[in-house]
Chain A
Amino acid sequence: MNIQSVIEAIRRDKLALLGLFILLVFIFIAFFGGELAPYGPNEIVRNAEGRVQVLQGPSWQFPFGTTDLGRDVFSQILHGTRPVLIVGFFAAIIPTAIGTLLGLIAGYVRKWADTLISRAVEIAYSLPFEPFAIILLFVLGPSLPTLILAISIIDWRRPARVVRNQVMTLSGSSFIKAARVAGASTSWIVLRHMLPLTLPISLIYIPFAFGNAVLAESALSFLGFGDPKSVSWGTILRQAFDGGAMDRGWWWMVAPGICITAAVTSVFFLTRPFEELVNPRLRRG
Chain B
Amino acid sequence: MNWSYLARRLLYLVINLWVLITIAFFLFRLLPGNPADFLIDPLLTDPERRAAVMERLGLNDPLLMQYLKYLAALFQGDLGTSFRTNLPVTEIVGRSFANTMVLVVVMFVVAYTVGITVGAYFASRRGALAERIGGTLALVVRGAPAFFIGVLLIMLFSAQLGWLPSTGMRSGNYSESNLWAVYTSPDFLSHLILPVATAAITACVAPMILMRNTMLDVMHSDFMDLVEAKGVPRRKRLYRHGVRNALMPLVAEGSQFIGYAVGGLVEIEVVFSWPGLGREIVTAINTRDYLVAQGAFIYIGILVMVVYFIADLLAAALDPRLRRSSAH
The answer to whether B145 and A284 touch across the interface, beta carbons within 8 angstroms, is no
How far does the Cβ of A235 sit from chain B's closest Cβ, in whole Å?
13
Task: Given A139-B28, A261-B148, decide whether A131 and B19 contact each other with a Cβ distance below 8 A.
Answer: no
Among A26-34, A36-44, A197-205, A214-222, which stretch is in contact with chain B? A214-222
Q: Scoring B residues 310 to 328 as 1 if CB is less than 8 Å from chain A, else 0, what string do you get? A: 0000000000000000111
Inside 8 A of B264's CB, which chain A residues have their CB?
Answer: 129-130, 219
- The verdict on A12 contacting chain B, using a C-beta distance below 8 Å, is no
Task: Given A123-B19, A223-B270, decide whether A279 and B213 contact each other with a Cβ distance below 8 A.
Answer: yes
- The verdict on A168 contacting chain B, using a C-beta distance below 8 Å, is yes
Q: Which of B12, B266, B277, B300 contacts A119 (CB 8 A)?
A: B12
Inside 8 A of A279's CB, which chain B residues have their CB?
Answer: 213
User: Which residues 260-294 in B have Cβ within 8 Å of A in the complex?
Assistant: 260, 262-267, 270-271, 277-278, 281-282, 285-286, 293
User: Which residues 188-238 in A have Cβ within 8 Å of B in the complex?
Assistant: 211, 215, 218-219, 222-224, 234, 237
The answer to whether A284 and B127 touch across the interface, beta carbons within 8 angstroms, is yes
- The verdict on B60 contacting chain A, using a C-beta distance below 8 Å, is no
Inside 8 A of A138's CB, which chain B residues have their CB?
Answer: 285
Task: Given A130-B266, A223-B266, A237-B148, decide whether A125 and B155 contact each other with a Cβ distance below 8 A.
Answer: no
The answer to whether A135 and B285 touch across the interface, beta carbons within 8 angstroms, is yes
**Which residue of chain B is the closest to A127 with respect to CB atoms?**
B301
Inside 8 A of A282's CB, which chain B residues have their CB?
Answer: 213, 216
Q: Which of B145, B271, B282, B305 contacts A218 (CB 8 A)?
A: B145
- The verdict on B144 contacting chain A, using a C-beta distance below 8 Å, is yes
- The verdict on A173 contacting chain B, using a C-beta distance below 8 Å, is no
The answer to whether A128 and B262 touch across the interface, beta carbons within 8 angstroms, is yes
- The verdict on A104 contacting chain B, using a C-beta distance below 8 Å, is no
Query: Among A246, A260, A268, which residue has the most Cβ atoms of chain B within 10 A?
Result: A246
The answer to whether B278 and A131 touch across the interface, beta carbons within 8 angstroms, is yes
The answer to whether B145 and A122 touch across the interface, beta carbons within 8 angstroms, is no
Inside 8 A of B327's CB, which chain A residues have their CB?
Answer: 165, 168
- The CA-CA distance from A269 to B135 in the complex, in Å, is 11
Q: Scoring B residues 128 to 158 as 1 if CB is less than 8 Å from chain A, else 0, what string do you get? A: 0000000010011011111110011011001
User: Which residues 115-131 in B have Cβ within 8 Å of A in the complex?
Assistant: 126-127
- The CA-CA distance from A257 to B31 in the complex, in Å, is 33
User: Which residues 236-281 in B have Cβ within 8 Å of A in the complex?
Assistant: 256, 259-260, 262-267, 270-271, 277-278, 281
**Which residue of chain B is the closest to A15 with respect to CB atoms?**
B136
- The verdict on A52 contacting chain B, using a C-beta distance below 8 Å, is no
The answer to whether B147 and A224 touch across the interface, beta carbons within 8 angstroms, is no
The answer to whether A237 and B301 touch across the interface, beta carbons within 8 angstroms, is no
- The verdict on B15 contacting chain A, using a C-beta distance below 8 Å, is yes
- The CA-CA distance from A165 to B285 in the complex, in Å, is 39
Q: Which of A125, A131, A139, A272 contacts B281 (CB 8 A)?
A: A131
The answer to whether A219 and B139 touch across the interface, beta carbons within 8 angstroms, is no
- The verdict on B27 contacting chain A, using a C-beta distance below 8 Å, is yes
The answer to whether B145 and A261 touch across the interface, beta carbons within 8 angstroms, is yes
- The verdict on B217 contacting chain A, using a C-beta distance below 8 Å, is yes
The answer to whether B259 and A131 touch across the interface, beta carbons within 8 angstroms, is no
- The verdict on A134 contacting chain B, using a C-beta distance below 8 Å, is yes
- The verdict on B1 contacting chain A, using a C-beta distance below 8 Å, is no
Task: Given A223-B282, A237-B151, decide whether A135 and B297 contact each other with a Cβ distance below 8 A.
Answer: yes
How far does the Cβ of A62 sit from chain B's closest Cβ, in whole Å?
20
Inside 8 A of B126's CB, which chain A residues have their CB?
Answer: 284
How far does the Cβ of B205 sit from chain A's closest Cβ, in whole Å?
10
- The verdict on A51 contacting chain B, using a C-beta distance below 8 Å, is no
Inside 8 A of A266's CB, which chain B residues have their CB?
Answer: 143
Inside 8 A of B263's CB, which chain A residues have their CB?
Answer: 127-132
- The CA-CA distance from A241 to B266 in the complex, in Å, is 15
Task: Given A215-B145, A253-B155, decide whether A241 and B259 contact each other with a Cβ distance below 8 A.
Answer: no
Task: Given A125-B256, A139-B31, decide whether A281 and B155 contact each other with a Cβ distance below 8 A.
Answer: no
Task: Given A223-B282, A281-B217, decide whether A131 and B140 contact each other with a Cβ distance below 8 A.
Answer: no
- The verdict on A53 contacting chain B, using a C-beta distance below 8 Å, is no
- The verdict on A265 contacting chain B, using a C-beta distance below 8 Å, is yes
- The verdict on A250 contacting chain B, using a C-beta distance below 8 Å, is yes
The answer to whether A219 and B145 touch across the interface, beta carbons within 8 angstroms, is yes
Q: Which of B155, B277, B293 contacts A250 (CB 8 A)?
A: B155
Binding site for B on A (CB under 8 A): 15, 118-119, 122-123, 125-132, 134-136, 138-140, 161, 165, 168, 211, 215, 218-219, 222-224, 234, 237, 241, 246-247, 250, 253-254, 257, 260-266, 268-269, 272, 279, 281-282, 284-285
12 A-B pairs within 8 Å (CB atoms) are namely A119-B16, A125-B256, A126-B301, A128-B300, A130-B263, A130-B278, A131-B301, A165-B327, A211-B143, A222-B145, A222-B267, A257-B144
Pick the 9 closest A-B CB pairs, nearest first: A265-B143, A129-B263, A264-B143, A257-B148, A130-B266, A261-B144, A128-B263, A268-B139, A284-B127
Further contacts, 9 of them, CB under 8 A, given A165-B327, A257-B145, A265-B140: A15-B136, A126-B301, A128-B304, A130-B263, A131-B297, A222-B270, A246-B159, A266-B143, A281-B220
